[in-house]
Amino acid sequence: MASQLFVRGGSVAPVPSPTLRRGLGLDLVGAACLVTGASSGIGAATARLLAGAGARVAVHGRDRAALDRLAADLGAPTIQGDLTEPGAAEAVAAAAEADLGPLDVVVSNAGAGWSGSFCEMDPAEADCLIALNLTAPVHLARAVIPGMAARGRGCLVLVGSIVGHLGAPQEAVYAATKAALASLAESLRAEMAPVGVGVCLVSPGVVQTAFFDRRGLPYSRRRPRPIPAGRVAVAVETAITEGRPRTIVPTWLGLPVALSTLTPSLYRRLADRWA
């Protein structure tokens, strides 16, 4: 793992622990925060917003140059590494705590997409998606939640996707990883709430990032329209400070989610018609 993980940035002087707000919400002033997948898109926007709110932020990603640019703007320590490597999630968490001290907030945002025929998908591609989108968040949560529970405070934010609630043709494996992430978030929320640890799921719709180019197929649908990454970052910040267990952004996408739960047959007819 030593060849995969690089940390840059000096240690930060201890500060008072952030105070709990209503419910399991946290005050971000002085909070020690780790954001994974911060090289670009939602992760970078979230890191900037949390830092602007007074948090002490460590940023993780795989793009060294992008991390350095972000760190220069924020004065943040950087952690470069591939979360699919064995032991990587634990090493990233440990590196962040070495710089910031015990973590108050972890935003598990790193992920990747893939689009195409399920029948033609290379099994290796499926393995990569599962490793990054599901296995890595599980390992990261396991690395940070015990410490939060022992301290009686903290917040884990899992960044999911609307397709984790609704599914999507040509994105079966990606949607499956995000659905599992939603189940993980709800299960951990119920388990951790009694000990003062918040677990939040933020599920964005289509976001204006390089995500679709990286998955190999640009976004071409008329709706839903892409939203800025900064809008998702605001949802993440609100989830942390208000202790919201589940956020869908934009909020109107909560309507098809509710419809699919309450009247699945009607939802499927409408989805097949407008897909």
Asked whether residue 85 is domain-assigned, the answer is: yes
Catalytic residue numbers read: 174
Averaged pLDDT for residues 251-271: 91
Give pLDDT, residue 25. 85
Asked whether residue 36 is domain-assigned, the answer is: yes
125 residue type, one letter: E
Give pLDDT, residue 225. 80
Ranking 35-39, 161-165, 167-171, 268-272 by mean pLDDT, the lowest is: 268-272
CA distances from 247 to 26, 165, 262, 274 (A): 16, 12, 19, 24
pLDDT 10s digits, 29-63: 999 999 999 999 999 999 999 999 999 999 999 99
Ranking 14-23, 44-53, 147-156, 217-226 by mean pLDDT, the lowest is: 14-23
176, pLDDT greater than 80:
yes
Asked whether residue 184 is domain-assigned, the answer is: yes
Query: Which structural domain, as residue segments, surrounds residue 249?
Result: 24-274
CA distances from 126 to 64, 112, 117, 123, 172 (A): 26, 11, 12, 5, 10
139, pLDDT greater than 50:
yes
Averaged pLDDT for residues 240-252: 96
Give pLDDT, residue 21. 46
Give pLDDT, residue 217. 61
Percent pLDDT > 70 in the chain is 85
Under the banding of pLDDT at 50, 70 and 90, the label for residue 2 is very low
CA distances from 28 to 113, 127, 180 (A): 30, 36, 28
How many domains in the chain? 1
DSSP assignment of 228-242 equals -HHHHHHHHHHHHHH
Asked whether residue 66 is domain-assigned, the answer is: yes
Under the banding of pLDDT at 50, 70 and 90, the label for residue 272 is confident
Asked whether residue 91 is domain-assigned, the answer is: yes
Asked whether residue 113 is domain-assigned, the answer is: yes
CATH number of the domain enclosing 182: 3.40.50.720
Asked whether residue 106 is domain-assigned, the answer is: yes
